[in-house]
Amino acid sequence: MPNKASLMIIKTLPVAIALALTATASQAQQAMDHSGHAGHAAPADHSQMDPGQMDHSQMNQGGMDRRDHSSMDHSSMAHPPVTGVGTGQEPRTPIPTISDADRAAAFPDLPPHSMHQGGSNFLFLADQLEWQDADEGSTLAWDISGWYGGDIDRLAFRSEGERTNGRTEEAELQLLWSHAIGPWWETVAGVRQDFKPSSPQTWAAFGVQGMPLFGLETEATAFLGEGGQSALRLEAEYDILLTQRWVLQPTAEVNLHGRNDEARGVGSGLSDASVGLRLRYEISRQFAPYVGVSWGRAYGNTADLLRADDEDVSEAKLVAGIRFWF
């Protein structure tokens, strides 16, 4: 019978075999984990390589077709000529070099530009030719103007007045020389002749007229008369286009005098002012009938002179007339 020592060896032998197998398997696993890196060679050192000594003749360049083209005949191939004109096309005429004579012919010396030398023109405008329903009876009133000349210098005239019951109450005529000082402004200078009221009187006239806004026409004229008399007249009118044919025109006028003139019924300071509103229908641009109202009032010494003669200092009128120009 085996002794106790033999029995112990027999019992512990399987355990030893198992531990040995386990250790062997662990070492095999570690060897497998590093085997994938075994194929990586160390980086090549190219610093010692001589490119001139490399033989590329033995390299396989991806199956490239390394044919010898030296024996090919290129004369039969169609090549465009060096002129850039394709086969079968007519050659283009070369562009000649531009000479100084060509430049002089294309860009000749131009004379200095002279503005507004388009000749002479004229205009006649009857801004108001109307019947008025005045307190003293039916009144025919007019306000007309015109000019002849160019765009810079013109000979102009203005005339306005009233006839009541067949008798001329007021009448004046101005002859002026106008000179443009801008696209919308011009100065005027000339003479004014009063025919009525009272005896005729001559004035020297000078002023400015223009359009500060589109459609707004303004005039400011100063007068120096006989015997040291002086006056200032301010006028404005504005065309409001309601439609292509209907036009509403408000007007305003203010007169001032430097001295009293009892013979003509005017006093110093603010003499009178008037406003009007007229609605016209333009049958054509040159001809338009209209209706409207007008109101005027005397002030200061002029009003006192009227009261002394037992006359009204203010008056409202219905008006109807025509406006035309050519």
Question: For residue range 80-129, what is the model confidence (pLDDT) as tens digits?
Answer: 555 555 555 656 777 888 888 888 888 777 665 444 455 789 999 999 99
CA angle 109–110–113, rounded 5-degree value = 150
* Statement: residue 1 has pLDDT above 50: no
Output phi, psi for 43, to 5 deg.
-55, 135
Helix (H/G/I), strand (E/B), else coil: 276: strand
pLDDT in tens, 253-303: 999 999 999 888 899 999 999 999 999 999 999 999 999 999 999 999 999
Which of 84-88, 164-168, 198-202, 248-252 has the least mean pLDDT? 84-88
Q: Which pLDDT value is given to residue 251?
A: 98
pLDDT in tens, 233-246: 999 999 999 999 99
| pLDDT > 70 fraction of the chain, expressed in percent and rounded | 69
HSE toward the beta carbon, residue 181, CA cutoff 13 A? 11
Q: Which pLDDT value is given to residue 57?
A: 47
The single-letter DSSP state of residue 98 is P
Q: Is 50 a domain residue?
A: no
Rounded alpha-carbon distances, angstroms, from residue 316 to 50, 162, 200, 248: 118, 15, 28, 19
| pLDDT > 90 fraction of the chain, expressed in percent and rounded | 55
How many C-beta neighbours within 10 Å does residue 88 have?
5
How many C-beta neighbours within 10 Å does residue 42 have?
5
Average pLDDT, rounded, for the chain: 80
Which two three-digit tokens encode residue 8?
Answer: 């112990």
Q: Which pLDDT value is given to residue 73?
A: 57
Q: Is 49 a domain residue?
A: no
Q: Which pLDDT value is given to residue 106?
A: 82
* Statement: residue 40 has pLDDT above 50: no
Q: Is 293 a domain residue?
A: yes
Q: Is 209 a domain residue?
A: yes
Which of 47-61, 159-173, 189-203, 274-288 has the least mean pLDDT? 47-61
- Number of folded domains that form the chain: 1
pLDDT in tens, 118-175: 578 999 999 999 999 987 788 999 999 999 999 999 999 999 999 998 899 999 999 9
Q: Which pLDDT value is given to residue 119?
A: 77
Q: Which pLDDT value is given to residue 182?
A: 93
Output phi, psi for 146, to 5 deg.
-175, 170
Q: Which pLDDT value is given to residue 290?
A: 98
Q: Which tops the pLDDT comparison, 291 or 53?
A: 291
Rounded alpha-carbon distances, angstroms, from residue 267 to 166, 304, 313: 27, 8, 13
Q: Is 155 a domain residue?
A: no
Q: Is 94 a domain residue?
A: no
For residues 193-202, give the mean pLDDT: 90
Q: Which pLDDT value is given to residue 99?
A: 85
**Domain limits at 205?**
181-325
| pLDDT band at residue 62 using 50, 70 and 90 as cut-offs | very low
Q: Which pLDDT value is given to residue 36?
A: 44
Q: Is 73 a domain residue?
A: no
Q: Is 165 a domain residue?
A: no
How many C-beta neighbours within 10 Å does residue 314 have?
14
For residues 29-41, give the mean pLDDT: 46
Q: Which tops the pLDDT comparison, 186 or 51?
A: 186
CATH number of the domain encompassing residue 234: 2.40.160.40
How many C-beta neighbours within 10 Å does residue 234 have?
15
Give the Cα separation of 287 and 325 in Å (integer).
7
H or E element at residue 218: strand 216-225
